[in-house]
Amino acid sequence: MDYFIELFFSGLTRGSIYALIALGYTMVYGIIGLINFAHGEIYMIGAFTAFIVATVLSIYGFPLLAIVVIAGVAAAVWSSAYGVTIERLAYRPLRQAPRLAPLISAIGMSIFLQNYVLLAQTSDFIRFPELIPEFAFMEPVAHIVGSSDMVILVTTAIVMIGLTCLIKYTKIGKAMRATAQDKTMAVLVGINVDRVISATFVIGSALAAIGGMLIASHIGQINFYIGFIAGIKAFTAAVLGGIGSIPGAVLGSMILGLTESFATGYVSSDYEDVFAFSLLVLILIFKPSGLLGKAEIQKV
């Protein structure tokens, strides 16, 4: 039973990280209808930024809590800058173009960023400092759920609640929903659509960066390629839940995380991807719009 619970929590941890990334995919898709393939790279850049900042701060002997907060904020800000710049350079000029053009532009951006980090940081795995200590109060349950799992779960939960409130109640959140639903009308009521799109990239990138920092600290190493794998998995999760749907992205991520975790634990870690993608294939066969996605109704 302990083993089951352990797998369950490690699945939730995985799912949380996927969710932090998947939200960026799903929000950008909801608002401009584009699969932002460079999003995984944003996550990777977030992890590297956190690594650099945390390393520098620890040399100067900052306390751990300060390091975590400053590195997290720096990663979020820096990744957001990347996200907004990518949108400006690679997607905005192609907004009126056929849908394939920005998609290819996104893949190009992804390859460019990977190689740029490869050149700057080499392809070696870099040891990531352990940012989350073992808490004393977690001692009794430490054999089932680790402190860093707990921190990841709690952080993700707080971020999700914050995001939900932002989208539901704030002016920018309502403007984001309005823009996603009807761009022409959003312009006609005076919403600056370009600014709303930029805001979406900022939020998505910041979430991915936080995810990047948390998982890097959890696993303990990073390299230029981590964004690709995580990006594909999070994208799968977003499609699983119904792309464009925010609760769908979270649900899809958790299901994917748990599936992988149980497959690893009870079958073999060699088969985790087989299970994850089989699940995706099954859901797409029986519910092509994803678990919580709405089938598009075309009114004539």
Kindly list the residues in this chain that would bind another protein in the complex (CB under 8 A). Answer: 171, 174-175, 177-178, 181-182, 184-192
Cβ-Cβ contacts under 8 Å for 40 (sequence gap 6 or more): 21, 110, 227, 228, 229, 230, 231, 232, 234, 235
Tell me if 178 sits within 8 A of 189, measured CB to CB.
Answer: yes
Specify the residue, 68 or 199, whose C-beta has the smaller distance to another protein: 199
CB of 289 to another protein, least distance (A): 15
CB of 180 to another protein, least distance (A): 9
What is the Cα gyration radius of the chain? 19
Specify the residue, 126 or 178, whose C-beta has the smaller distance to another protein: 178
CB of 10 to another protein, least distance (A): 36
Specify the residue, 143 or 294, whose C-beta has the smaller distance to another protein: 294
Q: How far is CA 29 from CA 22, 75, 98, 100, 275, in A?
A: 11, 23, 15, 14, 25
Cβ-Cβ contacts under 8 Å for 114 (sequence gap 6 or more): 41, 44, 224, 225, 227, 228
CB of 296 to another protein, least distance (A): 12
Residue 27 burial (10 A CB sphere; 0-12, 13-18, 19+):
buried
Q: How many residues does the chain have?
A: 300
Specify the residue, 115 or 192, whose C-beta has the smaller distance to another protein: 192
Q: How far is CA 16 from CA 71, 72, 207, 213, in A?
A: 19, 16, 11, 13
Specify the residue, 127 or 174, whose C-beta has the smaller distance to another protein: 174
Specify the residue, 184 or 298, whose C-beta has the smaller distance to another protein: 184
Specify the residue, 98 or 140, whose C-beta has the smaller distance to another protein: 98
Other CB atoms within 10 A of residue 204 CB = 27
CB of 94 to another protein, least distance (A): 17
CB of 20 to another protein, least distance (A): 24
221 φ, ψ (degrees, to nearest 5) = -150, 150
CB of 35 to another protein, least distance (A): 21
Specify the residue, 169 or 286, whose C-beta has the smaller distance to another protein: 169
Tell me if 225 sits within 8 A of 114, measured CB to CB.
Answer: yes
CB of 191 to another protein, least distance (A): 6
Residues 293, 287: Cα–Cα separation, whole Å: 9
